[in-house]
Amino acid sequence: NTSVPPVLPHYQALSSYVASLPGVASWTSQVSGFGFVNLGSHGQAFTLLFGVHPSQYFSTFHSLKIVEGSLLKDGEPGIMMSRHRLDEIAKDNHVHLKVGDKILINSFSKAGLKIRSVPLVGVYEYTIPTQALEVLSYVDAETLRALNALSLGTIAPAKLPPKINSLLNASSDNAFFSDAANGPLPSLGSALSSSSSNESAPAITTPEVWNDLMIRLKPGVAPGPVIAALNAEFAKRGWDVQAVDWKAAAGTTAKLTGVTQVVFNALLIILSIVAVIIILNTLVISVMERTPEIGTMRALGASKGFIRQLFIAETMITALVFGLLGILLGSGLVLLLGAVGIEINNDFLQILFGARDLRPLLSWNQVGMAVALTLGIGLVSWIYPVAVALRVTPLAAITSD
């Protein structure tokens, strides 16, 4: 696929508007693409490419650490590759790349084959290892723009020495081949080096070109209203741009995560229903076994309200005691697994969870939700048993075994 992601229109105005929003903590832009690391006679290795403005990008995203070399620097060409990817290249292609090596990148686009050479400035690892992203390499934005045929820069007419100008403007071949040429021609290097001038030449400039702009919101700021405000402003200005949340931007991986969350929630609901049924059956059996006692209390003047309160209290105590016991055991298990970790060997699960091992975390919000769920199950469970208990009459109590 040689298609290039769409370019953000009106980038200067767009970035200025984003920076003015009160809920924005930081933002950064990137160019997206792919390429092949040319390994000479050893073949080539595929890599995804993110072209970034280093200081802005790495101050917004903190998910990687440098293990060799350094981060990319603003205004300097270079590439950063993952430790995992370099190990794969060494294993599969028998080429050991190291910091300082010149990396030749080939890229194919609608404009044809593009080749750029950049130094390997750093080797990184993700703080949370994610195999799906190990193939990703970071390059300076100008290099990736060139590979994607989106090169920018200033195009200015070169100012050549008078001797070169007189030759280029000559109307006769004798100017090139006769002895009238005044002395030897300067070398190409000296001609180009002497072409610089302190005078400002007219230039043709192109606005910055980026494919994506990513925003990090301040803590506590809900993304929904910010996204709505952005899209409303884009529509007002007639820009063909859309703001989406991280799940929509992440694509399939985020969708898989969402599906997994739905499955886990469905299992939790099923377990809750099973818990309600178990408590309900236990209480119904308890009512049937205590029919004589209930009838005797009714005969002695106990009201239906008293019987109702009695069984509600019994149900809530049962649900709360055993629910809290389950919460304590579950919390201990979560803390233990969080310290030890659960290793994941399946590639799909690594992509799904974004890590090579799972370390569950315990939060007070989860504990509070568990207590609320326990109380809710208890409240639902007493309805039918209490209805059965209230139908017990003194006559039924006398005639029962």
Amino acid sitting at position 338:
G
What residues does 24 pair with on adjacent strands?
A: 217
- In this prediction, residues 369-376 reach a mean pLDDT of 81
**Mean pLDDT over all residues of the chain?**
80
Q: What is the pLDDT of residue 170?
A: 52
Cβ atoms of 129 and 63 within 8 Å: the answer is no
In a domain, 4, yes or no: no
Q: Hey, what's the torsion of the CAs at 142, 147, 152, 157, to 10 degrees?
A: 110
> Contact at 8 Å (CB) between 152 and 145?
yes
Q: Examine the fold and report which residue of 204, 239, 271 is the final residue of a domain before the chain moves on.
A: 204
- For residue 205, pLDDT over 70 is answered with no
H-helix or E-strand containing 307? helix 304-340
Indicate the pairing of strand 24-38 with strand 112-126: unpaired
pTM tops 0.85 = no
Residues 65 and 175 in one domain: no
Average pLDDT over residues 266-285: 82
Is the pLDDT at 340 greater than 60, yes or no? Answer: yes
CA 20 to chain centre: 24
Q: Tell me the residue range of the domain where 104 lies.
A: 11-153+206-249
Residue 2 within a domain = no
| Residue 218 and residue 349 in one domain | no
pLDDT in tens, 105-152: 998 877 678 899 999 999 999 877 666 678 899 999 999 998 988 754
Kindly state whether residues 265 and 229 are assigned to the same domain.
no
**Ramachandran class of 284: left when φ > 0, alpha when ψ lies in -120 to 50, beta otherwise:** alpha
In a domain? residue 6: no
Q: Is residue 5 part of a domain?
A: no
- Are the C-beta atoms of residues 52 and 141 closer than 8 Å to each other? yes
Does residue 75 have a pLDDT over 70? yes
Strand ranges (DSSP E) for 130-261?
Answer: 136-140, 154-155, 204-205, 212-217
Give the number of domains in the chain. Answer: 3
Helical residues (DSSP H) of 197-250, grouped into ranges: 223-237, 246-250
* 40 contact partners, CB below 8 Å, separation of at least 6: 95
∠ Cα 292 293 298 (to 5°)? 95
What residues are paired with 357 via a beta bridge? 343
User: Residues 263, 380: one domain?
Assistant: yes
